[in-house]
């Protein structure tokens, strides 16, 4: 008779996993260790979402290379934006926001490997900004980074997306203690004002206390 393994999930400790583009190995490893997982976006397409949705304690933040026809029907999908505490009670005060712009979208086919919903609309981002301003979060988790971070990474000549611009507006309104992001595939850390930023590289996994 097969013996079932049971792990005690620490309430506030979460494993953040960077963009994986269909590679579910880091998620499976975290689940096998009894970790609670937040994937930072670009999980992959339909099959990857369905597989991740069958794993316990896995939550996925939508990126720009995710199947938005399938993702919203998965319980692991976090949604557009909000307080992570609604899904993980010990993470109250952690704001999340999905999406980013695909710079290679002209080389992709809509509905197969690109989805127009990759970024929130201007109105949805305005609503997200208002939510953020009222919430005044301690920690932020986003797929994209604020425009000021993009300028540091790539130079001031960079033309940003509406998502990066909205995140920058949020940062100007309120500086959280910590800010985690994916999308740029860089292992990067920098203090900007009162906020400590941490970018995650592809498949990178870090354990963080969100309490």
Query: pLDDT tens digits, residue range 43-99?
Result: 999 999 999 999 999 999 999 999 999 999 999 999 999 999 999 999 999 999 999
Query: pLDDT tens digits, residue range 142-178?
Result: 999 999 999 999 987 777 899 999 999 999 999 999 9
In a domain, residue 99? The reply is yes
Return the pLDDT at 101: 95
CA-atom Rg of the chain in angstroms: 16
φ/ψ of 99, rounded to 5, equals 90, 160
Query: pLDDT tens digits, residue range 24-39?
Result: 999 999 999 999 999 9
What distance in Å separates the CA atoms of residue 57 and residue 38, rounded to the nearest whole number? Answer: 9
Range of the domain at 22: 13-209
- The CATH number that applies at residue 30 is 3.60.21.10
Contact status, residue 94 vs residue 137, Cβ threshold 8 Å: yes
* Count of domains observed in the chain: 1
């Amino acid at each position: 008779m097969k013996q079932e393994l049971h792990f005690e999930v620490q309430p506030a400790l979460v494993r953040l996993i960077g963009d994986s583009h269909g590679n579910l190995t880091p998620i499976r490893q975290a689940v096998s260790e009894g970790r609670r997982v937040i994937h930072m976006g670009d999980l992959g397409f339909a099959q990857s979402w369905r597989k991740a949705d069958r794993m316990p304690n896995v939550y996925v933040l939508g990126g720009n290379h995710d199947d938005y026809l399938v993702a919203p029907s998965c319980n692991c999908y976090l949604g557009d934006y909000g307080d992570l505490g609604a899904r993980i009670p010990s993470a109250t005060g952690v704001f999340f926001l999905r999406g980013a712009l695909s710079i290679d979208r002209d080389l992709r086919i809509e509905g197969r490997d690109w989805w127009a919903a990759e970024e929130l609309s201007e109105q949805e981002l305005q609503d997200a900004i208002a939510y953020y301003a009222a919430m005044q979060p301690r920690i932020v988790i986003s797929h994209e980074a604020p425009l000021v971070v993009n300028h540091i990474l790539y130079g001031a000549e960079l033309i940003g997306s509406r998502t990066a611009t909205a995140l920058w507006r949020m940062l100007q309104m309120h500086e959280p203690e910590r800010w985690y992001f994916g999308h740029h595939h860089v292992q990067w850390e920098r203090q900007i004002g009162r906020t400590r930023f941490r970018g995650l590289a592809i498949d990178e996994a870090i354990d963080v206390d969100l309490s």
